[in-house]
Amino acid sequence: MKKENYVPTMKDVAKEAGVALGTVSKVVNGLPVGEPYRIRVEEAIKKLNYQVNSYAQGLKASKTYTAALLIPNTQDPFFSSITYHINTALLKRNYRMLLCCTDYDSNLEQEYVIMAQQNKVDGIIGLTYNPGLKIEEQTPFVSIDRSMGAKIPCVASDNFAGGQLAAEKLADLGCKHAAFLRIGSSLSNEPNKRKSGFENGCLARGLSYEMKILNDGDSFEEFEHFLNEHIEDGKLSFDGIFCVTDSVAYSVLKILGKLGQRVPEDVQVIGYDGTRILGDKEYVCSTIVQPVPDIAEMCVELLLQENMMQKPPLVCLPVTYVPGGTTLEPSQEQE
């Protein structure tokens, strides 16, 4: 039996395989060697349970087998889901993941970008709201939900199609006059396309609509004022509402209750994200579901793809609609 603290070295692997040390090094670093040698080395690595020292390897081959994820936090359900799926996509490829919850701290984000530029990590996947982030062209960086320039791939759900789908669904479900409610960063980013898609869908289906757009930091009370202004004789003039996120929808559902409006009988509500209560229970509302596992896979695929030139600048992945009790679905009066 092996001793308790025995840690095999590259030399032990070379001895076991009966090959030169340089051959082991080549195999470990993914450089070409004759097939029979590669097999012998890999068998020796397995037999000895040799663990590649990635730090030493990092210095030699500029590969750390580590990627970093920049995300504002892991408490928002969409962020926690994307973190989980990116983590599992990386682990599946024997990559490790540094997690950095940025809390929107741009210095922290820049620090991690510098780490990538100095080859301390192989690349970065980032969901950032920092327009000043400096990323050199050759730095492996994949952005989620926000375009950072033509040379940096951005992966998002198909926000335009999602907005359009929401409008089409409301029209199909019998709505005549809809509202779009949005709160969020005023920066140009992918989720802003939900609005354009929604407008497009409304126009295509002849669904009239109004919009209420708030900026980050504005109070939700403004939604309440807006909705209240559209109530006459106890009746809301909107019979369908598309909210920019499920989180907004959740708050809007509370406001509607307060204003005496029944959902979905008086007004139907569709959100965006596909958030489930407590992570795995029912949907918060009828919603446009982001394909989070697909977004995660795509981010990791693009990050690890070596040829920068072949990386597409923007990848939009298809969304789906699921009823979640806040719409009047055809087969039922109410979920």
- Which is closer to a second copy, CB of 54 or CB of 237? 54
Residues 242-261 that bind a second copy (CB under 8 A): 246-247, 250-251
Burial class from Cβ neighbours inside 10 Å (0-12, 13-18, 19+) for residue 75 reads exposed
- 299 contributes a contact to a second copy by CB under 8 A: no
Among 91, 203, 204, 322, binds a second copy (CB under 8 A): 91
Nearer to a second copy, 66 or 143 (CB): 66
In the complex, least distance from residue 88 CB atom to a second copy, rounded to whole angstroms: 6
User: 56, 150, 204, 314: which one contacts a second copy (CB under 8 A)?
Assistant: 56
Distances (CA, A) of 145 to 2, 127, 263, 276, 289: 50, 7, 30, 20, 15
- Of 93-122, binders to a second copy (CB under 8 A) are 96-101, 103, 108, 114-115, 117-118, 120
Instruction: Rule CB under 8 A: choose which of 33, 80, 129, 329 binds a second copy.
Output: 80
DSSP for 149-179 reads -TTS-EEEE-HHHHHHHHHHHHHHTT-SEEE
Name the helix (H) or strand (E) containing 233: none
Compute, in degrees rounded to 10, the torsion defined by CA atoms 61, 66, 72, 77.
150
- Whether the upstream peptide bond of residue 131 has omega within 30° of 0, thus cis, is no
What is the distance of C-alpha 300 from the center of its chain? 11
* Total of residues contacting a second copy (CB under 8 A): 50
Written as one string, the DSSP assignment of 65-126 is SEEEEEES-S-SHHHHHHHHHHHHHHHHTT-EEEEEE-TT-HHHHHHHHHHHHTTSSSEEEE
CA distances from 74 to 79, 81, 109, 206, 296 (A): 5, 8, 16, 40, 15
Residue 69 binds a second copy, judged by CB under 8 A: yes
Stretch near a second copy under the rule CB under 8 A, chosen from 47-55, 152-160, 178-186, 310-318? 47-55
Residue 133 is a binding residue for a second copy (CB under 8 A): no
**Minimum distance from residue 323 beta carbon to a second copy (Å):** 18
Instruction: With contacts defined by CB under 8 A, name the span among 16-24, 69-77, 165-173, 320-328 that binds a second copy.
Output: 69-77
Among residues 20, 34, 47, 136, which is the contact residue for a second copy, using CB under 8 A? 136
**Residue 10 interacting with a second copy (CB under 8 A):** no
Instruction: Out of 7, 31, 150, 203, point to the residue binding a second copy (CB under 8 A).
Output: 7
Closest to 215 measured CA to CA, from 199, 192, 198, 196: 192
Q: Is the CB of residue 277 less than 8 Å from the CB of residue 284?
A: yes
Only segment of 2-10, 14-22, 30-38, 209-217 that touches a second copy (CB under 8 A):
2-10
Q: Does 77 bind a second copy (CB under 8 A)?
A: yes
The residue from 31, 39, 73, 188 that contacts a second copy (CB under 8 A) is 73
* Residues written for the chain: 335
Backbone angles phi, psi at 150, to 5 degrees: -60, -25
Residues that bind a second copy (CB under 8 A): 4-5, 7, 51, 53-56, 58-59, 64, 66, 69, 73-77, 80-81, 83-84, 87-88, 91, 96-101, 103, 108, 114-115, 117-118, 120, 136, 246-247, 250-251, 275, 277-281, 284
